[in-house]
Structure 1
Amino acid sequence: MEAENFLDLLKQVVADGKISFYYFSDPTSPITALHHLEIPYPGELSPVDLPYRWHAEKPSEDLIDAVWDDDSHSWIENSDKSQPALIAKLQASNAAMQKKMENYEAAKIKDAQNNDKVVQALSGVQKGQAQTTAVLAQLVPMVQQLSKPVNTPDKSNKADETKKKEGAE
């Protein structure tokens, strides 16, 4: 009996031409067809009477995989192959690259500062080595003089006596 009533209602709707289209959207569904499903309905529904996830606004033809966004109360793109999605990916990639470049520049500046400190330290070491070399240059002649045998009167006399004894014999 219900099938007959439905067929009668369908015939009447088709005869009157009063079919409204509503759009169902379940963005969490793994079935892509349920992201934006067109539903014919006999008659019209007020926005208050629309069932959950039903919307009177038709999604734009530009959207590949349209889903209803509750925050903006409009259809948005869900496909990652659409032009807006690609632009968003490129913008995110660009922002990431800029951040990396800023980090690189900061590291480069830090390395340059560290290199300056190393150069200053090496310069100090070189100055210290130069001073040490100058002091050693002054000490070498003194050490050489100290290492020469010193002729004392006692030693020269004994050496002379031994020579004399050897020569006399």
Structure 2
Amino acid sequence: MEAENFSKLLNEVVSNGKINFYYYSDPTSSNIELHHLAIPFPGELSPVDLPFRWHAEKPSEELVDAIWDDDSHAWIENSDKSQPALIAKLQANNEALKKKMDSYEQAKIADAQKNDKVVQALTGVQKGQAQTTAVLAQLVPMVQQLSKSVNTSDETDKTKKEEGAE
């Protein structure tokens, strides 16, 4: 109850213009509350009079863990669970997947080229075997005729020897 009363009192004082809010940001702090701490201040400070790391600009409600960026002079997201951080992660993952797919496609093309060379080599071997078979098919009848003529001449010689021996 006391917190609600204090909050109501604080809102009433702020609405009357007696207190202004300034925002402290220590991006290097391990305490997340110090990344964007609202500080009530009685009165108004000019931007020149603001102490170190104090800012008059309120961080956006959309930022999960807002920190002040000195380079851009604006509040930025520090949380890796915020929508911009998640989008950045997804984009990085998408790029990594694209690279993997490209390398996969290149490997697939290289394998296809290797397979084409193997098919060409096998086709050459098959043609060589077919030519060898054709040549053998022509030689087999000739060899058979030669073996018949050798066998018949041997038989004739034997019969002549036998007849001469008698």
Normalised TM-score (structure 2): 0.72
Q: Who is 2:31 aligned against?
A: 31
Q: Who is 2:128 aligned against?
A: 128
Q: Who is 1:10 aligned against?
A: none
Q: 1:51 to 1:150 in 2, by over 3 A?
A: farther
Alpha-carbon deviation of 1:59?
0.3
Aligned to 1:137, the other structure's residue is in SS state: helix
Q: Does 1:73 pair with 2:76?
A: no
> After superposition, where does 1:146-161 map in structure 2 within 5 Å?
146-148=146-148, 149=151, 151=153, 154-161=157-164
Q: Counterpart amino acid of 1:112?
A: A
RMSD across aligned positions (CA): 2.7
Alpha-carbon deviation of 1:94?
2.6
Map Cα deviations across residues 84-140 of structure 1 (whole Å, 9 max, x no partner): 223333333333333322232222222222222221111111111111111222222
Q: Does 1:46 pair with 2:46?
A: yes
Q: Which segments of 5 or more consecutive residues in structure 2 lack a partner in the other structure? A: 1-13
Aligned to 2:85, the other structure's residue is in SS state: helix
Larger Rg: 1
Normalised TM-score (structure 1): 0.71
Q: Quick one: distance in 2 between partners of 1:154 and 1:125?
A: 46
Aligned to 1:151, the other structure's residue is in SS state: helix
Alpha-carbon deviation of 1:17?
5.2
Q: 1:139 to 1:52 in 2, by over 3 A?
A: farther
Alpha-carbon deviation of 1:64?
1.4
Q: Which runs of 4+ in 1 moved over 6 A?
A: none
Q: Quick one: distance in 1 between partners of 2:48 and 2:161?
A: 135
State the identity %: 76
Q: Which segments of 5 or more consecutive residues in structure 1 lack a partner in the other structure? A: 1-13
Q: Who is 1:94 aligned against?
A: 94
Q: Quick one: distance in 2 between partners of 1:49 and 1:145?
A: 120
Q: Who is 1:63 aligned against?
A: 63
Q: 1:140 to 1:35 in 2, by over 3 A?
A: same
Alpha-carbon deviation of 1:74?
1.2
Q: Counterpart amino acid of 2:103?
A: N
Q: Counterpart amino acid of 2:162?
A: A
